[in-house]
């Protein structure tokens, strides 16, 4: 039963779009205005093992063909960081503010004490759009990336609860050497509302995805301890069957949680990235492109972002020339491992810097 409670606390696992949807749908319009990679990030003290991206002083590889030349598009290349959090105030009432205002009072179950539910960044996707190379590049940064903070190991996604959006942006800058011009953050509930604006997105789901609430051993006595509100289906086992499926607000939480028999973090990241790609593709189709300003305005009401309507309109030409862009999906270099009893992703910073440098107009040049 404790394992079930833990599943609820984890709730949106990415890495949940701002979770995929969040990242995905948000990606939708930010991807349209993405990529502004420029300055090398400043050296900072995010940990004892901080690595400063090296300046590229090497000569250009003569074997590398020159990029094709394209006519100018009005607007500038830039990058957007999509952040999806597991904050679900409509489903749980045991966040710190709920304790403070007495909305949650069931703090114990026998000898067990109910901790305050934290807010984590479960989905982190960097989207860059290059006007020069006509590329839209998606890079998923695992939320359980191992980082060093004041000499101690931490997981990237958990830093949201400590330092908010700014800390996630700073660490992604450190991990990629790609400063984000904009960020868009949403929780899983709002992400579902966002993806509904384009009537859902169809993707191929490789395996059956279980109902994140499934627990045949659930008993009502657990309710006060779990912080769960409203009715939940604990009996249905499969929420999304394998195959071509439409993802919308009714099932996005299950997809983001990605509870499957083989539980693969890399597979989940792939599925979420595919959701982001297909969301972008549908959003810029003729059916929805004409409604871009209207949809963008609604997205901004559902998210926290430093992007303005003016930023969108100044780069509206990216929408009209979308078919000229190629979509690139990068896999962040590193390995999944279990260290000190904790499942995590260990980044390869040196390889990561080389990877981003290899794209003209993306990262270091």
3-state secondary structure 223-253: HHHHCECCCCCCCCCEEECCEEEEECCCCHH
- The reported pLDDT for the residue numbered 365 is 43
Q: What does each C-alpha distance from 280 to 29, 194, 221, 313 come to in angstroms? A: 7, 12, 44, 17
Question: Could you give the C-alpha distances from 141 to 127, 232, 239, 256, 333, in angstroms and in order?
Answer: 11, 31, 26, 15, 10
With bands split at pLDDT 50, 70 and 90, how would you rate the model's confidence at 299? confident
- Residue 167 in this model has a pLDDT that exceeds 90: yes
d(CA 166, CA 174): 12
Distant-in-sequence, close-in-space partners of 136: CB < 8 Å, separation ≥ 6 = 31, 34, 35, 127, 128, 129, 130, 280, 325, 326, 327, 328
Is the pTM for the entire model greater than 0.75? no
Homologous superfamily (CATH) of 2-58+76-357 is LCP protein (3.40.630.190)
* Over residues 70-78, mean pLDDT: 68
CA distance linking residue 53 with residue 233, whole number of Å: 48
User: How far are the Cα atoms of 9, 21, 165, 263, 303 from residue 83, in angstroms, in the given order?
Assistant: 19, 10, 8, 22, 10
| Predicted pLDDT of residue 290 | 77
**Is pLDDT larger for residue 294 or for residue 244?**
244
Mean pLDDT in residue range 76-93: 85
3-state class (DSSP) for residue 208: coil
H helices present in the chain, as ranges: 2-10, 20-30, 96-100, 159-176, 188-196, 223-226, 252-257, 265-283, 286-289, 292-302, 309-314, 317-320, 349-357
Residue 220 has pLDDT above 80, yes or no: no
pLDDT at 214: 87
pLDDT per position as a tens digit, 9-34 = 233 233 333 333 333 333 333 333 33
Longest dimension (CA), the chain: 70
- Which of 44-53, 111-120, 143-152, 315-324 is predicted with the least confidence, judged by mean pLDDT? 44-53
């Amino acid at each position: 039963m404790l394992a079930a409670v833990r599943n609820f606390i984890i709730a949106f696992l990415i890495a949940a779009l701002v979770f995929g949807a969040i990242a995905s749908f948000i990606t939708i319009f930010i991807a349209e205005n993405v990529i502004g990679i420029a300055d090398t990030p400043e050296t900072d003290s995010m940990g004892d093992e901080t690595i400063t991206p090296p300046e590229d002083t090497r000569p250009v590889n003569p074997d590398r063909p020159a990029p094709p030349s394209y006519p100018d598009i009005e607007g500038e290349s830039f990058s957007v960081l999509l952040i999806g959090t597991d904050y679900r105030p409509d489903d749980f009432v045991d966040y710190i503010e709920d304790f403070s205002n007495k909305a949650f009072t069931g703090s114990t179950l026998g000898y067990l004490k109910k901790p305050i539910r934290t807010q984590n960044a479960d989905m982190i996707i960097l989207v860059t759009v290059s006007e020069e190379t006509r590329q839209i590049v998606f890079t998923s940064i695992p939320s359980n990336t191992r980082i060093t903070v004041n000499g101690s190991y931490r997981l990237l996604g958990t830093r949201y609860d400590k330092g908010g959006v700014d800390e996630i942006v700073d660490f992604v800058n450190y991990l990629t050497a790609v400063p984000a011009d904009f960020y868009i953050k949403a929780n899983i509930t709002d992400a579902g509302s966002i993806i509904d604006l384009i009537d859902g997105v169809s993707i191929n789901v490789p395996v059956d995805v279980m109902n994140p609430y499934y627990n045949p051993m659930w008993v009502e006595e657990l309710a006060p301890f779990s912080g769960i509100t409203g009715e939940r289906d604990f009996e249905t086992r499969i929420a999304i069957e394998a195959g071509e499926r439409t993802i919308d607000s009714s099932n996005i939480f299950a997809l983001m949680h990605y509870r499957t028999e083989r539980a693969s973090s890399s597979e989940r990241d792939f599925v979420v990235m595919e959701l982001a790609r297909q969301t972008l593709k549908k959003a810029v189709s003729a059916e929805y492109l004409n409604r871009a300003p209207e949809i963008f305005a609604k997205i901004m009401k559902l998210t926290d972002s430093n992007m303005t309507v003016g930023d969108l309109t100044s780069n509206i030409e990216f929408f009209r020339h979308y078919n000229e862009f190629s979509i690139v999906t990068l896999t962040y270099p590193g390995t999944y491992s279990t260290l000190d009893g904790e499942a995590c992703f260990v980044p390869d910073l040196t390889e990561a810097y080389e990877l981003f440098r290899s794209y003209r107009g993306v990262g270091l040049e």
